[in-house]
Structure 1
Amino acid sequence: MIEVPRPEAAFAESEAPADVVRRQYLASARGDLGALRATLADDVEWTEMAGFPLAGTYRTPKGVTGGVMERLAAEWEEWTVHDDRYVVAGEDVVVLGRYTAVHKVTGRPLAVRLVHHFTVRGGRIVRFEQFTDTALVREAMTP
Structure 2
Amino acid sequence: MGLIGLGDNDFATSTAPRDVVRRQYLASAAGDLEALRATLAPDVEWTEMAGFPLAGTYRTPTGVTSAVMERLGADWADWTAHDDAYVVEGENVVVLARYTATNKATGKPIDVRVAHHFTVRGGLIVRFEQFVDTALVREAMRP
Please show how residues 1-143 of structure 1 align to structure 2 within 5 Å: 8-9=7-8, 11-143=11-143
Give the Cα separation in 2 of the matches to 1:56 and 1:81: 18
Deviations 1:20-74 (CA, angstroms, capped at 9, x unpaired): 0000010111111111000000000000000000000000000000000000000
Report the Cα distance in structure 1 between the residues aligned to 2:11 and 2:140, rounded to whole angstroms.
35
Q: Distance in 2 between matches of 1:30 and 1:84?
A: 17
> TM-score with structure 1 length normalisation?
0.94
Number of equivalent positions: 137
How much has 1:78 moved relative to structure 2?
A: 0.5
CA shift, 1:11, in A, is 1.0
Q: What are structure 2's unaligned runs of at least 5 residues?
A: 1-5
Task: Give the secondary-structure state (helix, strand or coil) at the position aligned to 1:43.
Answer: strand
Q: Distance in 2 between matches of 1:127 and 1:8?
A: 25
Q: When the two structures are superposed, what TM-score results if normalisation uses the length of structure 2?
A: 0.94
The 8 Å contact of residues 17 and 120 in structure 1, kept in 2 or not, is answered as yes
Note if contact 1:99-1:114 (Cα within 8 Å) is conserved in structure 2.
yes
Shift of 1:8: 3.4
AA of the residue aligned to 1:65:
T
- Residue identity over aligned pairs, in percent, reads 76
Q: 1:83–1:96: 8 Å Cα contact kept in structure 2?
A: yes
Secondary structure at 2:13's aligned position in 1?
coil
Matched residue type, 1:8: G
Structure 2 match to 1:4:
none
Aligned-residue CA RMSD (Å): 0.9
